[in-house]
Structure 1
Amino acid sequence: MAVVSKGLEGIVAAETRLGEVKGAEGILFYCGYDINELAGKVSYEEVVYLLFYQKLPNRAELEKLTTALRAERELPQGVIDYLLAAPKKAKPIDIMRTAVSMLGSYELNRHDVDVSENLATAIRLVSQIGVIAAYFHRARTGKELPPIRKDLSEAAHFLYLMTGEVPSKEAEKTLDVAYVLHAEHGFNASTFTARVVASTLSDMYSAISAAIGALKGPLHGGANEGVIHMLEEIGSPDKVDAWVEDALAQKKKIMGIGHRVYKVLDPRAPHLREMAIQLTAQLGEAKWIQMSERIAEIMRERKGLNANVDFYSATVYYSLDIPTDLFTPIFAIARMSGWTAHVLEQWSENRLFRPLSEYVGRPYGQKVVPIDER
């Protein structure tokens, strides 16, 4: 008899060599490496290599990948024209989804080419996704688009495109670690979406466009934007307790608290918490982290729930002066390495996803009544 599991909870849909989330223990692995071993010790580019090749690179291998990434940053002029002409009030995540789909119309290589060509497409997407987000932000604010540079890391290049200036080493390091922490997370909703589309032998751009659409949802990547909106609504640390009590009484969701898989502390959260504390100390604006800490304390005591990756990443991005509606696109920038790695893995041993469903509708045997007699 078929097993019904709403949301596919507890169902193993496929095998993967890329990542594992141990929710009960609060552990996250990338290709056998604990996230606590990677964060702060390796660059985002090293993690990209790790996900593509299932091993950390030596210096020569890292230089080769870094050179390949930086060589692919230029966007087709048609995509730039779209970013310049797109509605200024559109959600950046929607613009990103459409721009990625447009990139597919310039790329003739599809799933039926060899692995090296598919890998080249993956590298191109990892390289260009940050440019899309930054260029649209510049366009919507009426600013010129800075020229592409090939002497900056992925994190530094994004911040440079956002501001027109090379970021500080501290800002670069902060965003780089955030990228590392967000790169991979097993069969989450957006990654599974990408693999389902890829399993039909559609192209990588279609799979990634679908993944971005899944990430947009407030129960997935959109949650980090909700954290800042929540903090702004609360206003100050002295109002936290009353706000949380009222929210709990009304059974409102507290954004950034709890996780679908982790039953204990999200292992990524402490790294982001530490960065949030450091950034707010440097900026002299402590109220955001103070409010966050108090909310987290109340929710642990009252509900036994812990903060997740979105809870502190929101404060980190906010402290880097990144607009709130770009939080989810930054998530997509980091996760592009994981998404594309999963698409490549799906194609390596492809099996079309086709789950069953349990019919619970009207009884079988319904008869058609002529339309004039209904």
Structure 2
Amino acid sequence: MIQPGLKGIIATETSISHVDGEKGQLIYRGYNASYLAEHYSFEEVAFLLWEGYIPNEQELNSLKRKMSGYRTIPTYIEKILLTLPHDMDLMSVLRTVVSSLSSPTFYLREPKEQAIQITAMLPTVIGYRKNQLEDTSMPEIPEEVDFVDYYLRVLTGRKPNNYHKKALETYFILTMDHGLNASTFAARVTTSTESDLVSAVTSAIGTMKGPLHGGAPTGVIQLLDDVMEDGNTDDVIRTKLKNGEKLMGFGHRVYRTIDPRAEVLKHRLKQLAGKDAWLDLAINVEQKAIQLLNEWKPGRRLYTNVEFYAAAIMKAIDMEPAYFTPTFTASRVVGWTAHCLEQSMNNTIFRPQSKYIGPPVQV
């Protein structure tokens, strides 16, 4: 039997993450991702995915020092960035820069060390490119700041407030991994040929670039913009439904119940109530949208997905849409590299078959 897109086919075993669409669970290494997002930092969860356990204080500090040291991009990468066309999209920039890491010096490092370097470097590349396009300079950033703090500083040029940082860190943790999604599968397929980690991550970035996978939540942004401008949530949503428009940010291909990532982000935003107008607006719009959607199509339960609250966070930190998918990438690279490390430990090359439907043999 043919399964287009390999839908429902189990292609490998993994101990990294599990998505239970029926129960609405996302599990990392035996932990609910929602629990990790509430109680641990980006670096701690990254360590968990790479190593299989929560780090102790000494291990965590060691990882932070390494990530801080790997933030600086090599001079040759700076030169590459300067030669790239200004109208090249940022995901293509990331793909090009990551592929350029293929140097003898880089490959002398152990694969886990390579994973740390790639992860630590991506925010710098994104920030460097932003400043290059805007003809500004990279901000001076203390070495001791953590990953999320650093990322916000390279994007905004200033020290972030705590509620924006906490909201983005929650998003980063919840999007680090999500089972055998398209980009993770691409990374594992590349690794299965015994290719290198740089090639695998490059494959994954190319896959994430596709709008069906890592596309920016522009539809949610438009909804929030419309409500903010109009001032009447009820009227805006009813008008969209009457016009046959799809409300973006609701429903999910995998989850048949509440998207656990959306629930955690919603809880985080409620904790930050009153701190930011966009975060407050998202809570109000979500409540009204769910009510009206269920009135519009009785019997069909629709729930908010992670994209909805991700869009609210991006609006709150004043992030341009061009940076949405690269931001997603800066988080998901942890999962990609963890899967590549796992694949290489018990490798079998991926080699599915196809069914020929072309013309019969002529001669």
TM-score, structure 1 as length reference: 0.88
Q: Report what 1:372 is aligned to.
A: none
- Name the CA distance, whole Å, in 1 between partners of 2:191 and 2:132: 32
Q: Secondary structure at the match of 1:165?
A: coil
Pairing partner for 1:242 from 217, 227, 239: 239
In structure 2, give the amino acid aligned to 1:36.
S
Pick closer, same or farther for the CA change 1:99–1:148 going to 2, 3 Å.
farther
Counterpart position of 2:111: 118
Q: Pick one of 138, 157, 163 that aligns with 1:164.
A: 157
Pairwise CA distance, 1:161: 1.5
8 Å contact kept, 1:191–1:211: yes
Task: Report the CA distance between 1:287 and its aligned residue.
Answer: 4.3
Task: Out of 324-333 and 277-286, give the one that drifted further.
Answer: 277-286
Which one of the candidate residues 305, 324, 333 is aligned to 1:336? Answer: 333
> Which of 355, 360, 365 does residue 361 from structure 2 map onto?
365
Cα deviation, 1:282-312, whole Å, max 9, x if unaligned, reads 2335545433443344445524232211111
2:95 to 76, 97, 119: 97
Q: 1:342 to 1:83 in 2, by over 3 A?
A: same
Distance in 1 separating the partners of 2:98 and 2:167: 26
> Which sits farther off after the overlay, 67-76 or 237-246?
237-246
Instruction: Flag structure 1 segments of 5+ consecutive residues without an equivalent.
Output: 368-374
Please, which moves more after superposition, 177-186 or 218-227?
A: 218-227
Structure 2 residue corresponding to 1:353, chosen from 350, 354, 359 = 350
Give the alignment of 1:131-170 within 5 angstroms.
131-147=124-140, 149-170=142-163
SS at match of 2:27: strand
Kept in 2: contact 1:269–1:309 (CA 8 A)? yes
User: What percent identity do the matched residue pairs reach?
Assistant: 36
Deviations for 1:90-118, whole angstroms, at most 9, x for unmatched residues?
Answer: 32222222221222347551xxx7xx711
SS of the residue corresponding to residue 350 of structure 1 reads: coil
Return the match for 1:196 from 167, 189, 196.
Answer: 189
Answer whether contact 1:269 1:307 (CA < 8 A) is retained.
yes
| Alignment check: 8 A CA contact 2:72 2:121 kept | yes
Task: Give the conservation status (yes or no) of the 8 Å contact 2:226–2:236.
Answer: no
List gaps (5 residues or longer) in structure 2: none
Contact 1:197 1:210 in 2 (8 A): yes
Contact 2:112 2:341 in 1 (8 A): yes
Give per-residue Cα distances to partners, 1:268-288, cap 9 Å, x unaligned.
001222344566732335545
Q: Distance in 2 between matches of 1:23 and 1:196?
A: 24
Inter-CA distance 226–77: structure 2 relative to 1 (3 Å threshold): farther
Report what 1:23 is aligned to: 21
Q: How many residues were matched structurally?
A: 355
Aligned to 1:371: none
The yes-or-no answer on 1:82 pairing with 2:73 is no
Instruction: Please state whether the residue corresponding to 1:21 is helix, strand or coil.
Output: strand
> CA shift at 1:135, angstroms?
1.6
Aligned pairs (5 A) from 1:167-316: 167-232=160-225, 236=230, 237=233, 238-248=235-245, 253-277=246-270, 281-285=274-278, 286-301=280-295, 302=297, 303-316=300-313
Q: State how 1:312-323 maps to structure 2 within 5 Å.
A: 312-323=309-320
Aligned to 2:7: 9
Matching residue's letter, 1:161: V
Give me the CA root mean square deviation: 2.2
Q: Secondary structure at the match of 1:40?
A: helix
Q: Which amino acid aligns with 2:284?
A: Q
User: Is the 1:182–1:334 Cα contact (8 Å) retained in structure 2?
Assistant: yes
Q: In structure 1, what is the equivalent of residue 324 of structure 2?
A: 327
Determine whether 1:64 maps to 2:62.
yes
